[in-house]
Structure 1
Amino acid sequence: MKKGEVKSMKIVFSPNIHTYIEKVEALLLKKEASNNLILGLLDYFKTTISRDVHFGYIEENGIVTDAFMQTPPNNWILADIDSPNQASASMLAANFYNKGIKVPGVLGPVEKVEAFVEEWTKRKRVTAAIHMHQLVYELRKVQVQIDGYGEMLPAAKADHDLVKRWLIHFGKEANEPMSEIKADQMATKYIENGSLYFWVVDGKPVSMANQSRKTKNGATINAVYTPDEFKRNGYATNVVAALSKKLLDEGFSFCSLYTDRENKTSNGIYKKIGYEVVGSSIVYHFENK
């Protein structure tokens, strides 16, 4: 970076989602799968009114070069761009500190996030802890044969308590603890949206997966869970493969998902299905000293 280049950068907070989308969408779509979190949230908030969401971007000589957003009280999300600029992440942390903006945590591409964390912990009396190393996967063609023993079926209202219970266990396994209230709300939402599917064997649900966020060309899968008594039977492979194929058949160009980098089992399953790593992400949480 040339001396003085940082001075040409400007941090801008958008007054509304439509202005924000106009400014950042083209940039984010260059790495659409890797930016599925921001893009998916933008798709959701286009039709859901929320005054609490924070939208921001960085301009350099009038050109948008980076983006970030937050849905309080969740972590700030930093975009994944072709030419990551650590200086912009450091400047963003300094800007947040000077404005007294709350930062419970931050997630995004490793180098950018770590530059943000370094600057934030210099200024703020907090400790930074890595919550998770993540991989971002993309699939454009299902590579496995879906097992004929069993079928994928949508969860129904009668399945609410089962979905709620499985979501709580999923949260524990994913190191994302979920309260009963949140699990209850998510179960209701997933079932009403028709987005959650079971793999069913002999009339009994044995695994689940959910279609989550949508982007311009893709769909994200999450909440993949198989109870212990049904593991190691290929059920998660079947439900994820079947749901992925359904989404591709419906016209999505690709499917994407996040994984815990350290979870060899889930990473192995997704690679077997045909998912390929297209990005990485790291999540930091901050706590007051």
Structure 2
Amino acid sequence: MKVQFAKSVEAYVELVEKKLLKKEACNNLILGILERLKQNNEGAYYLGWVEKDKELLFPFMQTAPNNWVLPDLEQFVGEEVIRVAVKQIWDQGMEVPGVIGPEQYATIFAKEWEDITGNQPVVHMQEWIYQLDAVNQVQQDGELVIAQEKDLSLLIRWLQQFGEEAGEKITEKQAEAIARRNINQHSAFLWQVGKHYVSMANRSRTTKNGATINAVFTPDQHKEKGYATSLVAALSQQLLDSGYPFCSLYTDTSNPISNHVYQKIGYYKVGSAIVYSF
């Protein structure tokens, strides 16, 4: 077996896309990142794969300083394939702040990294991956609006609160950068009831056939009123109407409320992922 790293994003996409598209919704993270890198490949990134006899076995990647991302494949490739990849990452002196992927792969990765470095992995989050092909009818009291520059301070505040709820600290500087980017890309959406904004969501990365929704947040004073349900249903429908055959999103497996909300809208489980931090 041999580990290689691509220098060209386009060449890497050509190599791995067909294999990843076989479980497109489950691979929305790695496919979405690659789609983004095709548009803007500034910054450090590592596009790796394991091959045997010139046959692609296992792609993996990182946009530094973020977690390594592992794919969900139709057939299990075997523990040794993952170990070979991890050893090459170590040999090349690459940073490993964490890893995200299907549990069967991410756990092997984390154990091998611990064996090599002595750094003990910690489970940061376990997630369900959902897909939606059609939106169920849900009551929608309010209106979906796209966030504008005037909404910047609200998005910054809500993104920080979203991070606190998700266990991901987002500084004000980071929140501002995210909010500005989302506003500029016309991907940030708000749910408006009367004259007030009550919930937010973001159309995140896209793949060949799908769009991912993330950063769904409702402040405490507006919770338990169905606003997030209405928002995600309306945004999902808008994405389907714009030509995407499906939508996808991640949820925390330990949050029964959000999982119930998304299933009510029409989302169904297609996979899972685990996040390890070192």
Bin the TM-score by the shorter chain: over 0.9
Q: Trace 1:145-160 onto structure 2 (pairs within 5 A).
A: 145-147=138-140, 149-160=141-152
**SS at 1:26 equivalent:** helix
Equivalent residue for 1:166, pick from 146, 158, 169: 158
CA separation in 2, counterparts of 1:190 and 1:123? Answer: 39
> What CA distance in whole angstroms lies between the structure 1 residues aligned with 2:256 and 2:28?
22
Name the aligned partner's letter for residue 93 of structure 1: V
Q: 1:130 aligns with which of 119, 123, 131?
A: 123
TM-score, structure 1 as length reference: 0.94
Consecutive unaligned residues of structure 1, counting only runs of 5 or more, are: 1-8
Q: Secondary structure at the match of 1:188?
A: helix
The 4+ residue runs of structure 1 with deviation greater than 6 A are none
Task: Give the aligned partner of residue 5 of structure 1.
Answer: none
Paired residue type of 2:114:
T
Partner of 2:105: 112
Alignment-derived partner of residue 135 in structure 2? 142
1:36-185 equivalences in 2 (<5 Å): 36-85=28-77, 86-147=79-140, 149-185=141-177
The more displaced of 93-102 and 190-199 is 93-102
- Deviation, structure 1 residue 268: 0.8
Deviation at 1:166, TM superposition (A): 0.3
- 8 Å CA contact 2:111–2:121 kept in 1: the answer is no
Deviations 1:61-96 (A, max 9, x none): 222121111011111001111112222112211222
| Distance apart, 1:56 and its partner CA | 0.8
Higher mean Cα deviation, 112-121 or 84-93?
84-93
Please give the per-residue CA displacement for 1:84-139, whole angstroms capped at 9, x wherever unaligned. 22221122112222332221111101011111111111111211100000111100
- Aligned counterparts of 1:150 and 1:15: Cα–Cα separation in 2: 47
Deviations 1:34-59 (A, max 9, x none): 01011101111111032511101111
Residues 146 and 242 in structure 1, CA contact (< 8 A), matched pair in contact too: no
Q: Number of paired residues? A: 277
Task: Answer whether contact 2:49 2:85 (CA < 8 A) is retained.
Answer: no
Unaligned runs of 5+ in 2: none
When the two chains are superposed, the root-mean-square deviation of aligned CA atoms in Å is: 1.0
How far apart are 1:177 and its partner, in Å?
A: 1.1
Q: Kindly provide the amino acid, as one letter, of the partner of residue 94 in structure 2.
A: I
Taking the aligned partners of 2:142 and 2:164, their CA distance within structure 1 comes to 27
1:260 alignment partner, one of 234, 252, 260: 252
Rounded to whole Å, the distance in 1 between the matches of 2:185 and 2:88 is 39
Counterpart Cα distance in 2 of 1:265 and 1:156: 29
CA distance in 2, matches of 1:31, 1:243: 23
Identity percentage of aligned residues = 45
* 1:279 maps to which of 267, 271, 278: 271
Given that residues 43 and 64 in structure 2 are in contact (C-alpha distance below 8 angstroms), is that contact kept between their aligned partners in structure 1? no
Q: How many angstroms apart in 1 are the aligned matches of 2:106 and 2:213? A: 24
